[in-house]
Amino acid sequence: MLDRVLEPEVMDTAWEAADYDAMDHAAVNWAFVSGFITFVPKLRGPVLDVGTGTALIPIELARWVPGLSIVAVDAAAAMIRLAAFNVKVAEMFDRIATRVVNARNLPFADGEFPAVISNSIVHHIAEPEVVVAEMVRVCRPGGVIFVRDLARPVDLPTLESQVEAYAGGANPQQRKMFAESLHAALTVEEVRGLVAVHGFPAASVTMTSDRHWTWAAVKA
């Protein structure tokens, strides 16, 4: 197994945010939203999206669930500026609130949200157990947690083949970003260890593609 190599926690320059926003996330975003809706067919809001990036997932989710309200947060001000722009263009500003918030210290009350989601933030965090604990804290009892991220490949050839397969048409900076994200990602077993601390079963964390794990759980 490759050793974990950390990448910067926050992509907070305008060009990084723009490069990220320009990448083709459509298939991955739709897979996330459809998986979440399937897991929670009777969805209630507000939903908290931790590490929203440029708010593409909240926009997709709001399109599929009429009337749903979403709080979309990210530590990167540059990402949130683009997120606010994307929300405005999508005419979702009355349903999606965007805020600059660090996932290590969420400014929300215990049990405030009936649903907490997150896509591709865990691999950015040097101590992911802190962010996991915060997501659990702000989810109300009986609420749902749905988190997905990249899984660290077993070796460098596998990493390189995934970059070629899923970012082959991207520009060099985007390919570099994807490779670094794979190298910084956690394994399924590492994630299972993190959630077990909070009483969640190992079976709540599964591989859901050749490069993604998903933690889908109901808080007791």
Cβ distance 147 to 128 under 8 Å? Answer: no
Looking up tokens 């109901």 gives 218
Nearest Cα to Cα of residue 144 among 112, 182, 104, 117: 117
* pLDDT score at 150: 97
Query: Model's pTM, two decimal places?
Result: 0.92
| Series of mean pLDDT values for 10-residue runs along the chain (220 residues) | 85 60 74 96 92 95 95 94 95 97 97 97 95 98 97 97 92 90 97 98 97 97
* β-sheet bridge partners, residue 218: 144
Listed by start position, the domains of the chain span 14-218
Cβ distance 148 to 119 under 8 Å? Answer: yes
Domain covering 14-218, topology: Rossmann fold (3.40.50)
* pLDDT score at 41: 85
Structure tokens that stand for 216 in this block: 């889908």
CB within 8 A of 207, min separation 6: which ones? 151, 188, 213
Structure tokens that stand for 43 in this block: 């969805």
Structure tokens that stand for 30 in this block: 């739709």
What is the bridge-based pairing of β-strands 139-150 and 212-218? antiparallel
